Structure 1
Amino acid sequence: MPVPHIRHATPDDEEPLGRLDRATWSPQHAVQPRPQPPYDPFFNERFGPRDHLVAELGGSIVGYIRIGYPTSLACNTHVRQIQGLAVAEEARGAGVGRALLRAAQDEARQQGARRITLRVLGHNTPARKLYEAEGFVVEGVLPEEFFLEDRYVDDVLMGRSL
């Protein structure tokens, strides 16, 4: 199985990343409704290419990870937060998510971060298993934080030291 190539996003990645984001939308991980046309731009004033790493297999984008700050507070700048992760259906099981997570941790370290966190829906077992396998631990749970598809779902905060 080929190893995914991980790189920083560029402005030219806008369209393929938007398509990937829409194609991978699922109530397993999304708290927003399914995107409908006209679609919002993938990059915006809050998150631009500099905040994304992309994974390529065979020259095609098959995944991305978004890294940001959990807050705008100066006293919190030593922490980065994964604020989005998507892997194309056809690339699942090929190590793309794992490679993106590892690259995000390397990027956060290079930026001087000491910790990295993320939030995951309690019912997203595959993602939680991947995060745990990569050293993330549950640091908090907001019980029944979201009401999705006629049921209450926990919001799970996970993190790890870098």
Structure 2
Amino acid sequence: MPESNPSLIRTARAEDEDALRRLDRAVWSPLHAVSGPPAPDAPFFPRDAGPEAHLVAETDGRVVGYLRLGTPTPLPSNAHVRYIRGLAVADEARGKGVGRALLRAAVAEARAKGFRRITLRVLGHNTVARALYESEGFVVEGVQPEEFFLDGVYVDDVMMGMRLV
């Protein structure tokens, strides 16, 4: 069983950018990324997802994880769905409940803002992440077999979701 989580979960701030950029580079892996590692000078916050679209886990004043939120499409007919666009936890914070705390905070925030569903995509071979999502109530809603070719292997793209109402 994971240790209790000592992290503070909060909305990201602009001044978190350097710490988040470093974290993103440190945890990059073909286990969970479909594109190459981020460039050292690439901005962390994309134009369509500023600090307000991120939840940050902080332990002892250090950023140890983040969760990026958005919507699956820009269509008004899809605006009732919250989409988890990314989740990362520093190696030293794994197994301590940081990812679970971020996920729970995202679900709580989505419910509070009136979203009806929350969804995400996860690579089929990322069994640790899939187990976390399933343990928090996400279910597999679809699989695109061999959707990505990563590190010499074809990998499934797994769509998961949860009803919030």
> Which TM-score bucket, shorter chain as reference?
over 0.9
TM-score (norm 1): 0.96
Match of 1:20 among 14, 18, 23: 23
Name stretches of at least 5 consecutive residues in structure 1 with no aligned partner: none
Q: Which residue of 2 aligns with 1:103?
A: 105
Q: Which residue of 1 aligns with 2:13?
A: 10
What is the root-mean-square deviation in Å for CA atoms of aligned residues?
Answer: 1.0
| CA contact 2:55–2:106 (8 Å) conserved in 1 | yes
Mark the CA change 1:153 to 1:79 in structure 2 (over 3 Å): closer, same or farther: same
Task: Please state whether the residue corresponding to 2:142 is helix, strand or coil.
Answer: strand
Deviations along 1:73-111, one digit per CA (max 9) or x if unpaired, are 101111001001000000001100000000001111122
Q: Which residue of 1 aligns with 2:130?
A: 128
Give the C-alpha shift of residue 35 in structure 1.
2.5
Q: Which residue of 1 aligns with 2:38?
A: 35
Q: Which residue of 1 aligns with 2:84?
A: 82
Deviations along 1:12-71, one digit per CA (max 9) or x if unpaired, are 11110011011110110001012234x210012111001000001111110000010000
Give the whole-Å Cα distance in 1 for the aligned partners of 2:154 and 2:43. 30
Number of residues paired by the alignment? 161
Give the C-alpha shift of residue 2 in structure 1.
5.0
- Identity, in percent, stands at 65
TM-score (norm 2): 0.95
Q: Which residue of 1 aligns with 2:161?
A: 159
Give the whole-Å Cα distance in 1 for the aligned partners of 2:151 and 2:73. 29
Moved over 2 A (4+): none
